[in-house]
Amino acid sequence: MGSRIQEKLSILADAAKYDVSCSSSGSDRKNKDKGLGNTGAGICHTYTEDGRCVSLLKILLTNHCIFDCAYCVSRRSNDVKRAAFTVQEVVDLTINFYRRNYIEGLFLSSGIFQNADYTMERLVRIAKKLRNEHNFNGYIHLKTIPGASDELIFEAGLYADRLSINLEIPTEAGLKLLAPEKNHREMIQPIKFISNTILQTKEDKKIIKSTPKFVPAGQSTQMIIGAAKESDLQIIHAAQHFYKQYKMKRVYYSGYVPISNDLRLPTIGTEVPLVRENRLYQTDWLLRFYGFEANEILNETNPLLDLDIDPKLSWALRNMDKFPVDVNRASYEMILRIPGVGVRSAKKILAARKFEKLRLEHLQKLGIAMNKAKYFISCHGYIQRYADQQAEKIKHFILSNSSSKYVKAASSQLNLF
């Protein structure tokens, strides 16, 4: 039985790998009654050779699918080997990997076979079995199958820590072109349902403490980058909508890896847009942790992210009138906006300045990226000389004094235009 299961694992892990989510945090599920596992801060147990975290056993239940979405490797018309796990096989793999400290839990997705409910029901059955029969308290992330009934989604939420449905294509027009059998409304509906149920559960819990957990680690979604000619503006505004409207925990961005000769898509051999993906993640962080609004970074006049420099620096250079920021006086919000200062450094600055007036050498030791920050701050014993310089000049200074890890990738991408 060893070689058969090995073959299934290779097919169904390979097909699941384009789902980039790997988070296993945010749930805080305790190990109850001396069972197996718990969840906490989330641990990456290893990293693949492409540098991505491996935290969960991320597999498809099956790669048989009735849909034919152009961007998907498991699309109906694609000539690939098909396989399907049994419920027991998934349970055994999860438990045995978990006991050896390989993983934080299970991330189970699936191609859609027969119909949405039939597929969803199988996913739920696995989660239920892990929780109820094996007293498994590790992390479970289930995919919400578009079109599944509310009842099944509700049940899934009782066992899973996270549910997600991947929008994949942020625009309706793009979705129509590449996944004509899916419709935008059918994807949004379950997101709404889960978001509302999470809110409702929180309310109920205030009154009745024993209200069972429902998707304690929240929902996430994913968008493919560079498959449907979408702009950064569209992507980031969609992301902000998800964060605000549906209280999503994460939006993931997945640079499209060409897997098809379909004329609607970039041809095989086209480079994965890694720099753009990175800039989108940086922007996402600015929305979630730095108090930025999407339209401060991307708007009708600036619909695309700058690939040479990070979006915060880019914003600062467009808003030179807000600088220099005095690190000994400015508010936390403003300190966060200094290029080169991260959330941790900003908090350190606030803590340390209670003891003494901070000088340049203090900031250096705190781990601030001074090569960027020095153009935007003032502090004790340091007068900002660059304040009236033109933004273009500062950008040039910064770029000529740093070497981006993306230089190679960036230049080969720029050649395309």
Q: Is residue 366 involved in binding other proteins (CB under 8 A)?
A: yes
Using a 10 angstrom Cβ sphere, with 0-12 exposed, 13-18 middle and 19 or more buried, the burial of residue 282 is middle
Tell me if 2 contacts other proteins by CB under 8 A. yes
The C-alpha atoms of residue 271 and residue 4 are separated, in whole angstroms, by 34
Complex with other proteins: residue 96 or 390, whichever CB lies closer: 96
Nearer to other proteins, 224 or 238 (CB): 224
Smallest CA-to-CA distance from 290 within 357, 329, 344 is with 344
Residue 348 near other proteins by CB under 8 A = yes
Single out the residue of 84, 158, 177, 352 in contact with other proteins (rule: CB under 8 A).
352
Residues 367-371: contacts with CB within 8 Å, 24+ apart? 368/340, 368/341, 369/339, 369/340, 369/341, 370/340, 371/340, 371/398, 371/401, 371/402
Question: Among 194, 254, 193, which residue's Cα sits nearest to residue 227?
Answer: 254
Positions 192 through 251 that interact with other proteins (CB under 8 A)? none
Considering beta carbons, is residue 138 or 157 the nearer one to other proteins?
138
Among 61, 83, 93, 127, binds other proteins (CB under 8 A): 93
Residue 139 is a binding residue for other proteins (CB under 8 A) = no
Site string for other proteins, 46-75 (x = CB under 8 A): xxxxxxxxx--xx-----------------
Closer Cβ to other proteins, 97 or 375, answer by number: 97
Q: Select from 8-16, 65-73, 120-128, 177-185 the region that touches other proteins (CB under 8 A).
A: 8-16
Radius of gyration of the chain (CA): 24
**How far, in Å, CA of 28 to CA of 64, rounded?**
34
Regarding 101 and contact with other proteins (CB under 8 A), the answer is yes
Residues 6 or more apart from 181 whose CB is under 8 A from it? 67, 68, 69
Does 362 sit near other proteins (CB under 8 A)?
Answer: yes
396 binds other proteins per the rule CB under 8 A: no
Q: Rule CB under 8 A: which of 273-302 touch other proteins?
A: 274
Question: What is the DSSP code string of 115-162?
Answer: -HHHHHHHHHHHHHHHHHHH-B-SEEEEEPPTT--HHHHHHHHHH-SE
C-alpha angle with apex 261: 258 to 267, nearest 5 degrees? 50
Choices 232-240, 284-292, 330-338, 352-360; region in contact with other proteins by CB under 8 A: 352-360
- When binding is defined by CB under 8 A, the residue of 77, 100, 301, 388 that contacts other proteins is 100
In single-letter form, the type of residue at position 69 comes to C
Binding site for other proteins (CB under 8 A): 2, 5-6, 9-10, 13-14, 16-18, 30-31, 34-38, 43-54, 57-58, 93, 96-97, 99-102, 135, 255, 257-258, 272, 274, 348-349, 351-352, 354-356, 358, 362, 365-366
